[in-house]
Structure 1
């Protein structure tokens, strides 16, 4: 079968509810006022004036009021002819333009000119308002050009199970000082006034502490002190603990601020990790 033998399907003029329409209805009537096209929308009279000035490359500091007023009034009359309700500010701006135009057309009296005096331009206030409006409009356009959520991009929420890692606070000198003062205070309550000469060795006490904590568990700092032996042994034991910390043989930690201080053998801590 040749392509010329295929039936020719007429092209649909429109589709109504998904059904093609190949011919205009005989009773179709569209009133003229129902078809209106507004080519340009303005946000106010200043926006319309700025559009007329920039479209014709007019210097905003030297506005030809007659030309601009004529174009502005033509737009207002066109809007009224289309039965579009105008805001009062459009009519107020029209009255202002007509006033400025009339003031410029009024002949000036022939008097002696004082060149030192400032001559007020009737367009000065209008030019100031136009410049301020243009600056605000450009700033608004710059802000609108920035990416906006739900317009230029969408937020993405990712649900995941957080991992809680307990970080133990470091033990500083203040914590050790408080622990030491607490030990001294407890020792004063139970100390015995015994006068005796004894030889105390820091190294021997260091070895004793290492033997006590050799099983690798945490020991509270108070457990390493023998309160019954007096203050000299307490001092030697405390110095021995400081030396062990300095030589990185033991570690001291606490679970929260102002809580008991614990001691553990570093070798045992590394094997646990």
Structure 2
């Protein structure tokens, strides 16, 4: 059985669990102190002088591998920049040797991870081999040919540009890492919901009143003076006794067209002065008139 961490972290000095009485002689205390000093740990109050034989420690328990590079180009660029080499004139011998030493380390621990690094190592060795080949010359023209390092230099420069751009983009604030969108719950019931009504419903109601008024008209010719103010007062008196009055009930069809017209003008004046309210719940619903609400 493995000792638990709390027991191993306990102090190694003599304590009340050493089996010694509080009034023990100094020789016993000294012997207990020597045993406690030689103990490597304490298990349930008892000193442990040697590791248990069944204590199993995996071989790779203390092995730490840091994947500090994102690929072969990243490692190669690190070796070049660390030693201040000119990227346009890479010393292939030194760089290849250092690169192979790193690849050998990761090959012993993780062969799958080392596969792509081994591919780059083969490319470096090929470039170095091509640079060691003798150059052909004639009497007039020196056939130098392309530099074997040109393609590798181009890939390194492109990778470095992309890496710098990625670092700059990573500095920008990101949602979910540096900032979060605020969320606010809005109670929908508090927002007023106005009915979708058509203003032409009022015109149709007025035309219906006019039609009924025309059916009861007479041909008596007389001069009649009508006051809009008097009709406004009459409408207000009618609405004071009723909470809601239907639009058509405010008109007397038998009074004649002039009276109905003046009465309608008086109603519009009251609505203009916000003394009354003309409401309709939904399209084609009855139109109601009531006194305007005035807070205390």
Q: Please report the TM-score for the alignment, with normalisation by the length of structure 1.
A: 0.68
Partner of 1:148: 176
1:191 pairs with 2:214: yes
Q: Distance in 1 between matches of 2:227 and 2:164?
A: 84
Shift of 1:210: 0.6
Q: Distance in 2 between matches of 1:23 and 1:153?
A: 55
Q: Gaps spanning 5+ residues in structure 1: where?
A: none
Following superposition of structure 1 onto structure 2, how do residues 109-258 of structure 1 map, counting pairs within 5 Å? 109-110=136-137, 112=141, 121-135=150-164, 137-138=166-167, 141-142=170-171, 146=174, 148=176, 162=187, 164-165=189-190, 167=192, 169=194, 175=199, 177-185=200-208, 187-188=210-211, 191-192=214-215, 193-196=217-220, 197=222, 198-215=224-241, 217-256=243-282
Following superposition of structure 1 onto structure 2, how do residues 4-83 of structure 1 map, counting pairs within 5 Å? 8=33, 9-10=36-37, 13=40, 22-25=48-51, 27=53, 35-58=62-85, 60=87, 63-82=90-109
Q: Please report the TM-score for the alignment, with normalisation by the length of structure 2.
A: 0.63
Q: Distance in 2 between matches of 1:208 and 1:67?
A: 109
Q: Gaps spanning 5+ residues in structure 2: where?
A: 1-21
Number of residue-to-residue matches in the alignment: 258
The structure having more radius of gyration, on CA atoms, is: 2
Partner of 1:86: 113
Select which of 105, 129, 136 maps to 1:102.
129
Partner of 2:19: none
* Contact 1:171 1:254 survives alignment (8 Å): no
SS in 2 for 1:43: coil
SS in 2 for 1:148: coil
* Contact 1:13 1:20 survives alignment (8 Å): no
**Compared with structure 1, are the counterparts of its residues 31 and 199 closer, same or farther at alpha carbon in structure 2 (3 Å cutoff)?**
closer
Deviations 1:121-157 (A, max 9, x none): 23343224423541464257436x74637xx899999
Higher relative contact order (CA 8 A, sep 6+): 1
Shift of 1:231: 4.0
- Computed over aligned residues only, the root mean square deviation of the Cα atoms, in angstroms, reads 4.6
- When structure 1 is superposed on structure 2, of 256-265 and 72-81 the one drifting more is 256-265
Shift of 1:103: 3.8
Deviations 1:234-264 (A, max 9, x none): 4322221221122232233444566544332
* Contact 1:171 1:253 survives alignment (8 Å): no
Shift of 1:208: 1.0
* Contact 1:220 1:262 survives alignment (8 Å): yes
SS in 2 for 1:38: coil
Q: Distance in 1 between matches of 2:280 and 2:204?
A: 17
